Structure formats: C-alpha cells, structure tokens
Amino acid sequence: MNFSISRPPGTWWAQVVARTATLAWSIAIVALITPWSGAAVAQNAQDQVLLDMRDAFRKGNRRVLQTNLPHTQGHLLAPLAAYWDARLGLETASNTDIRAFLQRWEGTYYEDRLRNDWLALLGARRDWSTFLNVLPGYRMNDDRQVRCHTLHAQHATGQRLAATEVEEAQRLWLGQKEAEEACAPLIERLMSDKLVEAEVAWTRARQGAEYNRPRVVSQAVDMINPDWVSTASATQSQPEKYLDEKLTAIRHRTKELVTLALVRLAATNPSLAAEHMARARWRVQLTAEEKSAVWGAIGRAAAMGLRGEAIAWFAKGRAADMTADQLGWWVRAALRAGQWESVVKAIAAMPDSERQQPVWVYWHARALQALKTPDHAAQSRELYQGIANPHHFYGQLALEELEQSIVTPPSPAPLSAAEKRAALNNPGLQRALKAIAIGLRTEGVREWNYTTNLHTPSGMADRELLAAADLACQHEVWDRCINTSERTTREADHQQRYPMPHRAPLVKHTQAIGLDPAYVYGLIRQESRFITDARSHVGASGLMQVMPATAKWTAKKIGLTGFQPHQITDRDTNIAIGTGYLKLVLDDFEGSMPMAAAAYNAGPSRPRQWRAPGGSGPVLEGAIWAENIPFSETRDYVKRVLANTTNYAALLTGQPQSLKTRMGQVGPRTGIHDPVNTDLP
C-alpha cells in the first residue's frame, strides 16, 4: 500500500481499515506509515492505554497494568503490554504461567526479554535444573550476568568447565564495574574448588581501590578471608593512616592489604604514594607484581593529571603486571612527552584484544615511524592498512598516513523493492517504529536493536541492515537510521550514516555566523542523533543538547530577545542558541575545533586546564592532545565529532578532506594576559 505521508492520521486509519481484514494488521500499517516527530503521541485510545501502562510499570503498580491489559488486545504493541505485566509478577509467578507467556509471544523480542529476566532470577535462586532447561531458548545472549549464571549452573551440576571457560569467568568478573551477585558467586565457587587462584580476587580488589569502588574491594576480600573485610575497608577510607608505620596496633597489615592502601592513595595523591613506595619496608615486603600494580596506579593518576613525572613512575614497575587501562595511560603520557620507545613498550604489554584496537594500532605505527626501526616503513604501512577507513577517527588518520584523503565512498547498489518491502513488513521493526511514534522511545529502540542484531534468528546481513536503516530514515527516526547503517561490514552508505536533516536552515544560519556547517552537523550527530526533543539525564535539550543556564546566557549574548526556557526544543531556536554558543567557544579557543568540541562537552574551564598556560609546555598535534583528555567521555566525544565533521565536509563539498588539518595543533596560550571569556558557562 502506498500512502502519502502528508495525509493526516485519521485519513490513513480510514483507508487502512477499509483495505484490511484484521484490526491487528491495520494497526501495524498505521504504525509504519505514521512519521515520528519528537514527543508526538498518536491520537487513539489504545496508544494512550500503552502510555498509562508504561507509567504504571515504572511505578511498580501491577493493579493498573492488569486493569488496562485487556484493552491492548489487537494492538501492535500488545506483546510489550503483556511483558510489563509479566515482569512485575515474575518473582511470584509459577513456572507454568511464565512458560505460557513465552509460548504466547514466541518469536518476539518480549518473549526473549522475559526469558532473560527469568534466567537472571533462576540464577539468583540457584535453581540450576530449571535454569538449564530454560536456557536453550535464550536468543539474546548479551547479558554478562546470565552468562555467569550459565557457567555456574554447568559447574554446579557436574559439567566440569574447560580452561577457556574458567578464563572467561574471570574475565567477566573483572570486567564488571560494580559489585554484583552473579559473577562473584561463580568465582567464589571456582576458588573453593581450586580452579581459580586467590590472586584473581586480589586483582579485583585492587581494581576497586583504584576506581574508588569500596563495595568491590569488600566483596573480593570477603572471598579470601572474611575477617579481613573491615581492615580492607579501612585501607580505602584512611589509606594514609593504615600505612603509618608508627601505628603498631593495626591488625592484618599484610602485603596484599598494604597494596590496596597504596593503590587507593595513588588515585588521590600519586606524589605521596610514590614517597611511600620509596620506603625500604614496602620495597622489601611487596612482590614485584604488587609493586608494579601500585606504580601502575601512581602513573595512571599522574598521567590523567597531565604530570610530567608519570612516565618515570610507570617505568618503576613491570609493564606486564599492569592493567590495560594503566598501560593506555602510559602510552598517552609517552605521546605527550614524545617518548616513542615507551609507546612501543606499553602497547607491546597490552593484551591482544586491547592491542588490536584501532587507537593502539595507529599509535604503534606512528611510534615505529618515529623510531625508524628496521623495516619500520613496511611494518607501519601494514598496521595503517589494517585500520584505514573513513568510518572512525583513527581509520581516517591512518588513511592520511597512507597519503590518501578522506572522501565519500561510493554508494552501494540501490535497494530493491523486495528489500525495502521485507523491512517494511518486519514485525519487530513495525513494533519498534510504533513504540517510538507514540512516545515509547526506550522500548522502541530496544526492540529495533534486538530485531536487527546479528545474534538473533532475525539478525540481519548488510543489505537487510541497509533496508532497515532506510526505513528508519524515511520515518525520520534518525538515531536508528544512523546506528543501523553503521553496523554494516562490507557495504557502507554514507548518506544513511551521515544524514543532514534541516539542511537549508542549518547551512544558512551557520554560514551567516561564520561556522562550518560540517562542524555543526558533526556535533549534532554526536549530541542528539538529530532527535529534536532529545533530553539528557542532566537536563540538556534539543538537537544541540543545550543546558538551561547556557541557553539563557547565550540567548542574551547573541541578542535573542524574548527567549523562554520552553522554546529550547524548538528546532530553529535550538540551532540559533547552540551554534551561537559554539561560535563563542570556538573563538575563545582561537579556532581550535578539538578544543571547542571538548569545551562544548565538558565546559570551557576544563580544556583551559588541559593546555599549558603562559607560553610554557609542549605544542602537541591535535590527535595527541585529544588522546590525553582525562575524561573518557570527552575524549571519545572529541574524536567522534571531528571524524563526523570530516565526513560531513566530504558530503557537503564533494571534495577530499583532511582530519589532521582540522585537528591542528594545541599548545599553551601565547601569553598569560590573552583575553578569555571567563563567563562562558
């Protein structure tokens, strides 16, 4: 059926009802042809019932859910409504009732979603027999907790784990940020059965100490010796006191607990931790591995503070005993200091999975070039070729090292009518678009991702992903358009990956104030994925994710009279304020795109701290400066915005582009009296 998207919903509804035989199919078609527009909510009663049920689910009000559930029969999102009810009743439901739900909604995302929740509950209850019976139907396979429960179930029921599975269990536990109750019991069981050494638990405890997660420390130490937990807590809350050699009354001053105290101290005061490490007592007491863990923590803290001592402190430990994060900061400190030998040494010590990341492949190649090692030209070229592509920051830099400009790749073959029809008729995509259209964005995004995920039976190959992305683009669901298109591996459509909604007003406005429209598009793509009513958890709003205070300040600064806070999600107002602020920031940072992007994300005061004042300090190439940004979110943000910008410039101009030129160089301010907009919010 070919309906014009300009017709009002009522007209579509009448036509669909007239042309279809069932209510369910008519709702599906209406969902698919209704364009999504921010916070728009469909005008039929069933949609409102779904929104009411969403609110009840969030509040844990199952009575409202059960009252409204019958009214969702025949609705395209009936599986979602049923899931909300089943999820709130999961802990008290019988296995028979849960299986009935799974059978009723077989093949849908919500069948697998509830199975995931049920497996997590069964694992927590240690009901291994039922767990293993339910597991074969689980398709999602992306939940670390469930995977740990799976390994636990196998081991507990006599299926001896292979060495690779034991290693996987350790990796899963060490990869968890916070203390949790799925992987930890598995490790504790494996420790009890002599399959995992206590050193793994100490490694986990040191992670908690370095990242200020005291519950992680306590959980790990409890596995080793419950009597040491209170002392371990003291090493975190008062590390200096614990390390005070004059306080002989302190119990359990073991080398492992001393290491925990030194690691915690390193995170807050690396200089003082280094002084402690110079003391003979600790040098003798600690093993080489423990001393390396402490020096790694000291070096990491110093490197994040952009301190010159970082490299010397790293060098006091053994690289092989340091974590991947510590080694990453060793590389960053070495890049900042121009010490390419240290770059090679630290990257060589990384685990294979980390060393093969594009960021470290690129810097390894650069180091080989700088050191002019034997065969460096061939080795570095091979490394560059392995990551060179226009799709990400280091891929673009690698292209330029290979003396290739960044251009828009050729478009894939046009989608056929059959390929488009398959996407249009996909039930999961239909439900996702419907959910997003009525304001259930989170739920819609989850179902969309599940439907397009390669690890599910309905997972998609490149052409299917391109068709799904095209469907999202046609409905102006830009975030799913971009994210789905980005997942192709062999065929890339840059028009999908880098869409340009609102092109005419945005280009006109940016040119009027002297901003590169490609830069603004690159920033918006990262900020909001072109969702006009996007709102972050901290209150930033609209296409350019402007904070309320920033909006008020900027509106006054650029002469936008009569501005009211509620106008911030209006497209043109948001663009005017966002671009106005970006221009002020860019001017303040002397035209440096990476510094202005960092300021837009983290506030202008921080990038000022990340460059040396008063004419002292090194002048760094922009990529090295960006790699040394202490905040991982801002570091990633700057890279993505500038890579986006380069691709948008290629699309807008049709000309080859250079990321290196946009990154430029970042050095200290030319003088301490240079003007600074200190009131920039």
- 326 found inside a domain: no
- 334 found inside a domain: no
Say yes or no: 516 and 660 in one domain.
yes
DSSP 416: P
Mean pLDDT, the chain, integer: 90
Output the pLDDT for position 456.
Answer: 58
Measured between its terminal Cα atoms, the distance across the chain in Å is: 51
Q: How far apart are CA 217 and CA 229, in angstroms?
A: 8
Say yes or no: 631 and 579 in one domain.
yes
Say yes or no: 444 and 519 in one domain.
no
Say yes or no: 571 and 478 in one domain.
no
Output the pLDDT for position 668.
Answer: 84
Provide φ and ψ at 516, rounded to 5°. Answer: -70, 120
Task: Show which of 462, 497, 532 is a domain's final residue.
Answer: 497
Output the pLDDT for position 253.
Answer: 67
Task: Show which of 497, 515, 542 is a domain's final residue.
Answer: 497
Are 594 and 622 in contact by the 8 Å Cβ rule? The answer is yes
Are 456 and 139 in contact by the 8 Å Cβ rule? The answer is yes
Interstrand relation of 665-666 and 620-621 (parallel, antiparallel or unpaired): antiparallel
- pLDDT above 60: residue 406: yes
Say yes or no: 508 and 492 in one domain.
no
Catalytic residue among 443, 447, 464, 527: 527
- Can you tell me the mean pLDDT for 538-555? 94
- 55 found inside a domain: no
pLDDT tens for each residue of 583-623: 999 999 999 999 999 999 999 999 999 986 555 778 999 99
674 vs 295, residue with greater confidence: 295
Are 402 and 381 in contact by the 8 Å Cβ rule? The answer is yes
Say yes or no: 512 and 462 in one domain.
no
Q: At what angle do helices 183-192 and 144-156 cross, to 10 degrees?
A: 30
Q: How far apart are CA 491 and CA 475, in angstroms?
A: 22
- pLDDT above 50: residue 28: no
Task: Show which of 497, 520, 537 is a domain's final residue.
Answer: 497
Say yes or no: 617 and 544 in one domain.
yes
- 58 found inside a domain: no
Confidence band (pLDDT; 50, 70, 90) for 635?
very high
Say yes or no: 514 and 609 in one domain.
yes
Tokens of 519: 């830069």
- 202 found inside a domain: no
Say yes or no: 585 and 492 in one domain.
no
pLDDT tens for each residue of 49-70: 999 999 999 999 999 999 999 9
Task: Note the pTM of the prediction, 2 decimals.
Answer: 0.90
User: 449 is in which domain, residue-wise?
Assistant: 417-497
| Residue matched to tokens 């003082």 | 272
- Can you tell me the mean pLDDT for 155-183? 96
- pLDDT above 80: residue 133: yes
CB under 8 A, 24+ apart: contacts of 40-46: 40/437, 40/438, 40/439, 41/438, 41/439, 42/9, 42/437, 42/438, 43/9, 43/10, 44/13, 45/71, 46/71, 46/72, 46/74, 46/75
pLDDT tens for each residue of 325-346: 999 999 999 999 999 999 999 9
10 Å CB burial of residue 429 (0-12, 13-18, 19+) is buried
Q: How far apart are CA 253 and CA 79, in angstroms?
A: 57
Q: How far apart are CA 600 and CA 523, in angstroms?
A: 9
- Can you tell me the mean pLDDT for 26-35? 40
- 595 found inside a domain: yes
Sign of CA dihedral 44, 45, 48, 54: negative
Output the pLDDT for position 248.
Answer: 52
7 vs 259, residue with greater confidence: 259
| Residue matched to tokens 């006091």 | 316
Output the pLDDT for position 70.
Answer: 96
pLDDT tens for each residue of 416-447: 999 999 999 999 999 999 999 999 999 999 99
Output the pLDDT for position 614.
Answer: 55
Q: How far apart are CA 475 and CA 136, in angstroms?
A: 36
| Residue matched to tokens 């790749």 | 409
Q: How far apart are CA 455 and CA 436, in angstroms?
A: 23
- 561 found inside a domain: yes
3-state secondary structure of 235: helix
Geometric angle at alpha carbon 445, from 101 and 439, rounded to 5°: 90
Q: Give the residues across from 259 on adjacent strands.
A: none
3-state secondary structure of 52: helix
DSSP 414: P
- Can you tell me the mean pLDDT for 272-292? 92
Output the pLDDT for position 13.
Answer: 30
Annotated active-site residue 527? The verdict is yes
Tokens of 600: 């837009």
pLDDT tens for each residue of 230-274: 999 999 999 998 998 665 555 566 899 999 999 999 999 999 999
Say yes or no: 650 and 522 in one domain.
yes
10 Å CB burial of residue 671 (0-12, 13-18, 19+) is exposed
Say yes or no: 587 and 644 in one domain.
yes
| Residue matched to tokens 């061939």 | 378
- pLDDT above 50: residue 39: no
Are 626 and 638 in contact by the 8 Å Cβ rule? The answer is yes
Number of domains making up the chain: 3
Confidence band (pLDDT; 50, 70, 90) for 10?
very low
Are 510 and 490 in contact by the 8 Å Cβ rule? The answer is no
CB under 8 A, 24+ apart: contacts of 499-505: 499/473, 499/530, 500/648, 500/651, 500/652, 501/476, 501/530, 502/530, 502/543, 502/571, 502/575, 505/571, 505/572, 505/575
Tokens of 422: 């398959």
Output the pLDDT for position 180.
Answer: 93
Output the pLDDT for position 34.
Answer: 44
Say yes or no: 656 and 525 in one domain.
yes
Q: At what angle do helices 441-452 and 427-437 cross, to 10 degrees?
A: 160
Output the pLDDT for position 480.
Answer: 98
Write the secondary structure of 83-149 as one string of H (helix), E (strand) and C (coil): HHHHHHCHHHCCHHHHHHHHHHCCCCHHHHHHHHHHHHHHHHHCCHHHHHHHHHHCCCCCCHHHHHH
- 135 found inside a domain: no
> What CATH number should be reported for the domain holding residue 541?
1.10.530.10
pLDDT tens for each residue of 74-128: 999 999 999 999 999 999 999 999 999 999 999 999 999 999 999 999 999 999 9
